[in-house]
Amino acid sequence: MAEDDEDPDTELSSSRTIRREDNSLGRLLTLSDGIFAIAMTLLALDLRVPDLSHPTEHELLKQLGNQSASYLSFAVSFYVVATYWIRHRQLMRSVVTSHPVLIRDTLLLLLIVAAMPFFAGLLGRYGSQPIALALYAAANVLALLSLMALNHDVERLGLTGDAEPDDYAHRAQTWLTLAVFALTIPAAFLLRRHGPWFLILLAVPNRFASLRRLFTRRSGASARP
């Protein structure tokens, strides 16, 4: 037998191993997308249609206005969870193999994401109470820390193969978002019932990342001969 001939049993075993690894990673991504989708859908359950027997336009507008906190909570929470999904997708698309640590980190992130409708409902109903906003912010701090741990372990374990490492704009966006939520906790007790409006600052990290990527593209284009 020639030296370069491969053992059929070895080749079959290797093929099965690759399929198992690919299937494991695929199932993890499917689970992640499913939980993100369910969490984003459940956020809408806290939006209530006013129950009025004989409504007038004024009464209907008044009742809708009374639920403005729920609308703000829904909009902010949907944006936040969608940002986590986008960030997770950007990270995972470079991953080429599964690992127990990867599964552990992902499940920790999904645990917090799955509970996000609870914290959003708490914020929507009791947003004037500082503790409600503080708990909401703390849950998001934990979500961001788990996302950062996932990113760190993916790089530490070399799960991305030859893919490019995470860029500066994405890292900066995550850190800035973490800073906003961390500052929201003391702001909740300082601003009291106006505390939820502090979350508008979440637009800053996303804007920073967009400007950073735009600057990088222009710099790269100007550097070409």
Domain assignment of residue 8, yes or no:
no
Number of domains in the chain: 1
pLDDT tens for 157-201 read: 988 876 665 666 778 889 999 999 999 999 999 999 899 999 999
In a domain, 136, yes or no: yes
Task: Note whether residue 213 is domain-resident.
Answer: yes
pLDDT of residue 167: 66
CB atoms within 10 A of CB 98: 20
pLDDT digit string, tens, across residues 128-148: 899 999 999 999 999 999 999
- Structural contact between residues 106 and 150, judged by C-beta atoms closer than 8 angstroms: yes
**Alpha-carbon distance values, 168 to 26, 35, 176, 216 (Å):** 27, 28, 12, 10
Report if residue 96 sits inside a domain.
yes
Domain coverage including residue 197: 13-47+57-219
- What is the pLDDT, as a whole number, of residue 162? 67
Q: What is this structure's pTM?
A: 0.80
Is residue 82 in a domain? yes
